[in-house]
Amino acid sequence: MTEFLSLDALAARIADGAHVAIPPDYSGVAMAATRALIRRGARGLKLLSVPTAGLQADLLIGAGCVAEIETAGIALGEAGSAPRFVAALKAGALAVKDTTCPAIHAALQAAEKGIPFIPLRGIIGSDLVGRRPDWRVADNPFADGDPILLLPAIAPDVALFHVPLADRKGNVWIGRRRELVTMAHAARRTLVTVERFQDEDLLAEEASAAATLSALYVTAIAEAPQGAWPLGLAELYASDDAHLALYAAAARTEEGFRNYLSEYARL
C-alpha cells in the first residue's frame, strides 16, 4: 500500500548512505524534497543521475549530502557548469563514476527485468571502459570475434521524482517521461512528490492509464505544490531561468552558496 506522508516525512525515508536515482532537470525533479533532505542534514548519499543531473545534484553536493555520484554529465544548462560539483571534484571530496546515457538506462533495465547484467555496444574502444572495473568485456557466445560489454544491473535503494498528479490509490501520472517508469521498476523503493491529488482513479480510463505509474511501484507520496521549482514541470510551469542564473552566480563561492541555502532552503 502506498503511504501518504508529509514532505519532511518523505525525505526522512531516504537514509544516510542510500543509493538514490534522480531524473534529469527536464523530467520531474523533486526539488522540494531535495531542500528537505538538505534541511535534515542527509549524509553519504550515492546519487545515480538518469542519465544526467543539474541543480538538484549540485545543491546536494554543495550541502555535503553526497559521497558518490554515477552520471553521464552534470551542468546547469544555459546557466553554465555546476559550480559545487566542480568544486567538490577539484577538492577530491566526491567520488565520481563516469558513464554514458545508454549505459545507465541499460543497467536500470537489467534490474527492472531481474537479471544480473546486460550487454551493450558502443562503448568498447573508449577509455571509459578502463575506468570502470565493474564493467566487463566478454566474447559474444553466439558469434566468434565479437566482443561485447557487460554492465552490472543497477538497483537503487530509492527512486525520487516529482509528478503533476496522483490519485488517492497511489497511482501517479508521469506523462511521457518513461525513464521515471524504469527508475521505479528498478529501485527497491519509489518516493514521489506531487503537485496535487485527484479523487478519480488514474487507471480507470485508457487515456490516463497509458501515462500512469501504478501504485504497485510507489512506496510513498507527499503533496508539494510547485515541487519542482525553480526547475520546470511539463505543461504546468517553465523553469525559472532568472533564479537559475542567480544560483549559478551565488554558488561560485562557498560563502555565496551558504547564503543561498540560508535564504532558499531555510536552514
Rounded Cα distance between 45 and 66, Å, is 4
Pick from 34, 40, 35, 45: nearest CA to 12:
40
Which residue has cell 566487463?
A: 136
What is the predicted pLDDT for the residue at 109? 98
Q: Kindly give, in sequence order, each residue whose CB lies less than 8 Å from that of residue 95, ignoring residues fewer than 6 positions away.
A: 67, 68, 69
CATH 3.40.1080.10 corresponds to the domain 3-100+156-264: yes
Can you read off the three cell numbers belonging to residue 181? 517508469
Mean pLDDT split into 10-residue runs, the chain, 267 residues: 97 98 97 98 98 98 98 96 97 97 98 98 93 96 95 98 98 96 98 98 96 98 98 96 98 98 88
SS3 per-residue string spanning the chain: CCEEECHHHHHHCCCCCCEEEECCCCCCCCHHHHHHHHHHCCCCEEEEECCCECHHHHHHHHCCCEEEEEECCEECHHHCECHHHHHHHHHCCCEEEECCHHHHHHHHHHHHHCCCEEEECCCCCCCCHHHCCCCEEEECCCCCCCEEEEEECCCCCEEEEEEEEEECCCCEECCCCHHHHHHHHHCCEEEEEEEEEECCCCCCCHHHHCCEECHHHCCEEEECCCCCCCCCECCCECCCHHHHHHHHHHCCCHHHHHHHHHHHCCC
Domain positions in the chain are 3-100+156-264, 102-152
Instruction: Determine the pLDDT at residue 267.
Output: 61
CA distances, 122 to each of 20, 119, 195, 197 (Å):
26, 10, 39, 42
pLDDT at 266: 80
The reported pLDDT for the residue numbered 84 is: 98
